[in-house]
Copies of this chain bind each other. A is one copy, B any other.
Amino acid sequence: MVDVNSRIVGEVRVVGAGLLGASVGLGLRAKGVDVIVHDASPANLRLAIDYGAGRAARDTDNPTLIVVAVPPDVTAAVIAAELTAFPDALVTDVASVKAAPLAELLATGADVARYIGSHPLAGRERGGAISARADLFIGRPWVITPHGPARFGEVGVIEDLVLDLGAVPVTMTAEQHDSSVALVSHVPQVIASLLAARLNSAPESALSLAGQGLRDTTRIASSDPELWVQILGANSAEVVRILHAYREDLDAIVAALEAPDVAGARRAVAESLAAGNSGVSRIPGKHGQDRRFGQLVVMVDDKPGELARLLTEIGEAGVNMEDLRLEHSPGAQIGLAEISVLTEVEERLAAELEAGGWKIAGAWK
């Protein structure tokens, strides 16, 4: 089936109807692609089909592309089975680790010339088809990891999949991918979980003092342990390498804090904190080095319709918000709307809002 909207040509078979698989199905169907969805669990499969992620498999299926979206532990085995069952299909997967499944797959003797690994950097804390979204991948990086003498045209098919789903294709080796995600995803998960674990023995009075800093720092600690055991196990070498370096830095700051009045101790602590400043400034995006957006903080009364009135005025000013965050303390009569807009319109918007009677609590570029 050729569809005017999709780049992908032919049927796409999605194996695994969890969050990622069902989101791939929803996204491709929105482009008019014929999506076959399959799951080892009949209940999961029914849910995904009801949800609109695709249709059930038929004996006559002849997919051009198969997307394997199963847990990391079984990814290689499922890829091997799909390569055998569909000898004309190209197979990719969406597992969060790439080198280990490939090595496992090579050990099975499968026809790996028809396999190209990939990994969308997208997800949510909540899993399952029920949390799936057609737009889950929009604007997110999707790493493609060709191995050996991958043919150009086949990488192109995976790129078409990625582009059909609104994601941004990025090509790396499996090893580059694994060391990158160890740093930006797997190690932060470990660090956040260990920090959150410290809260178990805390008195409630201490927890009642928690603010946004603790909430943000530990948010991802609510992720699914079962999935993460598999991810960390499959990428353990890279994760351990970074955790060793982290542990050295931790030892240094602990030593300095154990003797804070010794010469050089405060400097050591200050250098750790400054290294954190420079590290965080390297993260792209609105909290990092992306300086295209400025922030305006506007005070908003805590009653129905007030925020809508503010946003209506922003819309009437012809300004598009890149991001909006409402800060609102429980019980407070006033909220603060932090609005991200292009820096070139920020001053004009602030002036128009003030003229309209809004109080600007802060403005930054």
Contact = CB atoms under 8 A, between A and B. Distances in A.
A318 B312 CA distance: 18
Interface stretch (A54-62, A76-84, A211-219): A211-219
A333 to B, nearest CB: 8
Nearest to A253: B190
Interface stretch (A10-18, A110-118, A273-281): A273-281
Interface stretch (A1-9, A32-40, A42-50, A202-210): A202-210
A285 B332 contact: no
B283 A330 contact: no
Contact of A280 (B191, B218, B244): B218
Interface string A265-292: 1100110111111111111110110000
A243 B217 contact: no
A236 B254 CA distance: 9
Contact of A316 (B172, B233, B275, B305): B305
Contacts of A246: 194-195, 198, 250
Interface in A152-207: 166, 170, 172, 176, 179-181, 183-185, 187-200, 202-207
Nearest to A312: B308
A53 interface: no
Interface stretch (A86-94, A134-142, A350-358): A134-142
B205 A176 contact: yes
Given A185-B213, A185-B214, A215-B285, A180 B206 contact: yes
Given A217-B217, A332-B166, A211 B257 contact: no
Nearest to A293: B330
Contacts of A278: 197, 200
A196 B166 CA distance: 29
A228 B320 contact: no
Name the interface size band of chain A.
Answer: 35 or more
A283 B195 contact: no
Interface stretch (A63-71, A101-109, A296-304): A296-304
Contacts of A166: 332
Interface in A317-334: 318-326, 328-334
A215 B283 contact: yes
A264 interface: no
A208 B284 contact: yes
A196 B280 contact: yes
Given A176-B205, A184-B209, A320-B302, A194 B250 contact: yes
A239 interface: yes
Given A250-B243, A278-B200, A266 B308 contact: no
A311 interface: yes
Nearest to A191: B195
Smallest CB-CB A-B distances: 5 pairs: A139-B329, A193-B276, A305-B315, A308-B311, A196-B279
Interface of A: 121-123, 126, 131, 133, 135, 138-141, 143, 166, 170, 172, 176, 179-181, 183-185, 187-200, 202-211, 213-223, 225-226, 228-229, 232-233, 236, 239-240, 242-247, 249-251, 253-254, 257-258, 260, 265-266, 269-270, 272-285, 287-288, 299, 302-312, 314-316, 318-326, 328-334, 336, 361-362, 364
